[in-house]
A and B are shown apart, each in its own frame.
Chain A
C-alpha cells in the first residue's frame, strides 16, 4: 500500500468521521454508552495495572459490570467491541515484551559502551571482547561466548532437524499409506509434547555421563549432544510446517508428472519440493528459531561457564548458550548483571522475531505463487 497524498488523507479522515457520526446516530444510545463505559474502564484498568496502582481493581470491576450489562441488553455490539479488545491483546503483549525487555537491558548496554570510529555506541562492548565475568574485576558482560554456544547448538540441531524433518514431512505428505500416516503424524506431535526438562533430565542423567566415558572428556557437557537433543526437539516443528507446505501443492501437478511416467520420487524432487520450496525453507527457519530459543535441555546439560571453546568448532566442549545463561543466572543476579541477562534476552528475541517474520514473508510469497495455479 502506498501512502496516499495529503488531500486523500484528509478526505479519508473526513470519511471516517462521517462514518463514525452515522454509526453513532444509528446506534442505540444506551448500547453506545455501555460500550463506551466498558472500553473506557478497560483502558483505565490497563493503565492502572501499568502504573501498578492498587486501585486497578476499581476500573476492572467497572469494566466487568458495564460489559455484563451490555452483554445482557446489547449483545451484538458489545461482542464486537470485546472481541476487538481481545484482538489488540496480542499486539499489546508483543509491544509490552519489547518495551519491558529493552528497558531492563538499558543499564547493561550503557555499561558496555564502547567507541567505534570515535563514536561511543552503547552495548558495543558486548560484541567486541569475549569476557563475561560478573564477579571478579574487571567485570565485563560480553555476550560473545554465549552467542558462540547458541550458534554451535543451533547449527548441530539444524543439521539433525532439517534433513530428518524434511524427509519425515515427505513421508507423511507423499509416501505413507493412510493407515501409516494416521500413526506417524500423531507420533511426531507427541514428540513435540515431551517437555524440554524431561529431555534435559535424560541428557543430564544418561547422555552426559555416557559421553564423558565414551570420549574421555572433562565432564560430560558437549555442544554435540546438546545440539542433537535440541535438534530432536526442533524436529516436530520442521515436520509439521513442511508437511503443510508439501500438501498445499495441488495434486493435479503431481498427477501430471506421474502420468508422464515419472516415478513418485522424481515427482517429489522435481515438482512437489520445488513448488513447496519456500514453505519448506520457512519450516527450517522456524525449526532454527525453536532451536535458538530452547532453554531447559541446554541449561541442564551444559557446564555453565561463559567461555568460547577452542578451537572454535570444538563440539566436545559445552559451555553456555544465551538461553541457559538467563535460566541459570536469573534470580541470583542483580543490578547490571541482571540487566545483562535481559540484554541476552533482547538478542534472542530480536533474532527469533526476525526469523519468524522472514519465514512468514517466504510463506506468503509461496501462497501467492501457488495461488496463481489453483
Chain B
C-alpha cells in the first residue's frame, strides 16, 4: 500500500502543476518546524453547521502490532464534502474504510471506538453490513468496473438487493420491470455525468471505457443503490487532469444530495472541492479538522502549516 501511495505522490504533484493552482497564495512560508508539538483536542473539535451525518468517537485501528489510527474523533456534517488529507501512510485511507466497515475484509485489523451513522453505532453487534454498505457507498482509488456491460454494472447493486429483477425467472413469472431498470440506469448515469457519453452503448463491456469514464461509471454504480454517504478513496489519482477535473466537478455537485467524504493526496483538490478538511499526519493521528478555508489559510498547528506549505510530508 505504501508503495502505491508513493507512486501517486509523484503523480499528484504533476496533476497539481498542470491544474490551476489556487493554493499558491496560501503557501505561507514559516520557519522550519523542528519543534515537536502535541496534537491538541481543540484543533479537532470542530463544529460544522448542519446535521451530523457521521460521528466518529475515539477510533483506534491496529493492524497486528501496527497502530494505524490513534484515537480519532470527528463529526461529518450532512450534504457536504469532507476532505481527508495527509502524507502517505498517515491512516486516512484506513479511516475511510472504517466508515463502511470495509476493514472487516482485512483479518488482522482490529477496530476500537465508535462510528455512528445517523446516531447508530456501526460497530455494535447485529449490524447488517448489507444495509450499512447500501447507505454508505464507496468509490475506489483505481476504477474497478465489473467485467460486464455498462448497464449490468449500474444495475448490479439494486439487483443484488432484490430491488429490481432481471433474471430469466423474473421474466418467466412476469416480475421483470425493464422500464424501472431502464429509468434507474439512466438516472444514475446522468447523475454521474456519464449518460451523454455512453447512452448509445449500454450493452458494451465496461472495461472498454476510458479511465475517467470507468471511474464515473463506478460512481454511477454506487449512486444506483441510493446511498446517503459516498466515500471516495483518492478517486482521481489514477486519472489524467481533464478526467480529474470532471470528477472534481461531479464531487461538488453530488454534495447537494449526498454526504461525501473524499481522501486525497492533492491539497489543491481538497481546497477546490471540500467544505471542511481533516489533516492526518504520520502516525495515524488526526491533527486538525476545520473549515477548508481555515485549514489552508490559517491552520492552528505548526505541523499542518508546514505540511500544507510543502515543508513536510
Please report A residues at the B interface, Cβ cutoff 8 Å: 177-178, 250, 252-253, 255-263, 266, 270-271, 274-275, 369-370, 372-373
Contact = CB atoms under 8 A, between A and B. Distances in A.
Contact of A373 (B105, B132, B134, B147): B147
B123 interface: no
Interface in B151-200: 156-157, 160-161
Nearest to B104: A258
Contacts of B131: 261
Contacts of B161: 261
Contact of B157 (A253, A260, A275): A260
Contact of B222 (A260, A263, A369, A373): A260
B107 A259 contact: no
Interface residues of B, number: 28
A270 B145 CA distance: 13
Nearest to A249: B147
A266 B160 contact: yes
Given A253-B146, A262-B160, 12 more contacts: A250-B144, A255-B102, A255-B140, A256-B218, A258-B105, A259-B100, A260-B156, A260-B225, A261-B129, A261-B157, A270-B160, A274-B148
Contacts of A274: 147-148
B207 A261 contact: no
A119 B27 CA distance: 92
Contacts of B102: 255, 258-259
29 contacts: A177-B107, A178-B107, A252-B142, A252-B144, A253-B144, A253-B146, A253-B147, A255-B140, A255-B144, A256-B144, A256-B145, A257-B146, A259-B100, A259-B138, A260-B156, A260-B160, A261-B131, A261-B132, A261-B133, A261-B157, A261-B160, A262-B130, A262-B160, A270-B156, A270-B160, A275-B147, A372-B207, A373-B147, A373-B207
B261 to A, nearest CB: 13
B130 A257 contact: no
A28 to B, nearest CB: 44
B78 to A, nearest CB: 21
B156 A257 contact: yes
Contact of A261 (B107, B148, B225): B225
Contact of A252 (B100, B140, B148, B160): B140
A372 B147 CA distance: 10
A368 to B, nearest CB: 12
Nearest to B142: A252
Interface string B218-231: 10011001000000
A255 B157 contact: no
Contacts of B225: 260-261
Given A258-B105, A260-B160, A369 B147 contact: yes
Q: Give me the 4 closest cross-chain CB pairs, A-B, nearest first.
A: A261-B133, A259-B138, A260-B157, A252-B144
Contacts of B145: 256
Nearest to B159: A270
Contacts of B157: 260-262
Tell me if A's interface is mostly helix, strand, loop or mixed: helix
Contacts of A255: 102, 105, 140, 144
A260 B158 CA distance: 9
Contacts of A263: 130, 160
Nearest to A373: B207
Contacts of B129: 261
Interface in B103-151: 105, 107, 129-134, 137-138, 140, 142, 144-148
Contacts of B148: 274
Contacts of A369: 147
Contacts of A258: 102, 105, 133
A259 B133 contact: yes
B235 to A, nearest CB: 13
B134 A261 contact: yes
A338 to B, nearest CB: 52
Contacts of A256: 140, 144-146, 218, 221
Contacts of A370: 147
Interface centre among B129, B134, B145, B156, by most chain A C-beta atoms within 10 angstroms, is B156
Nearest to B206: A373
A257 B145 CA distance: 9
Contacts of A270: 146, 156, 160
A259 B225 CA distance: 11
Interface centre among A261, A275, A369, A370, by most chain B C-beta atoms within 10 angstroms, is A261
Nearest to B158: A260
Given A177-B107, A255-B105, A260 B144 contact: no
A370 B207 CA distance: 10
Nearest to A256: B144
A369 B206 CA distance: 12
A263 B157 CA distance: 11
A369 B105 CA distance: 26
Nearest to A269: B160
